Amino acid sequence: MQIEVVKSKIHRVTVTGADLNYIGSITIDEILMDAANLIEGEKVSIVNINNGERFDTYAIKGNRNSGDIILNGPAARKVHKGDIIIIMSYALMEFEAAKAFKPWLVFPNEKDNSLT
């Protein structure tokens, strides 16, 4: 039996922009993606702390050390610049393996989305 578990989580990061006219996705600072073990194109779930919105999209790599967290395309309607969000990805794994699995959890500074 396989179950779905949290693989990666970027907890309480600040939205720096929303671009309705972009194709779609969420742009995430490459440093945060690396720390959370996320890859470009990976499906992510977004939870907006400010308004309760929950939705899925995919990650694209932002400029390294930029602090960028930008929602693109239709997802831009679900956030505002300055909102606090949680970004999560999930993985399927065997039940017994899942018991021992430890996800990548990242807790950035909410003021500038840095890891310091």
Q: Which of 22, 45, 58, 66 is catalytic?
A: 58
Other CB atoms within 10 A of residue 8 CB: 23
58 is catalytic: yes
90 is catalytic: no
Instruction: Map residue 78 onto helix, strand or coil.
Output: helix
Which letter does DSSP use for residue 76 in this model?
G
What is the distance between the terminal CA atoms of the chain, rounded to a whole angstrom? 40
Q: Residue 54: phi, psi to the nearest 5? A: -135, 130
> For strand 43-48 and strand 84-94, is the pairing parallel, antiparallel, or unpaired?
antiparallel
**Rounded Cα gap, residues 101 and 25, in angstroms:** 27
Question: Which residues have a catalytic role annotated?
Answer: 25, 58
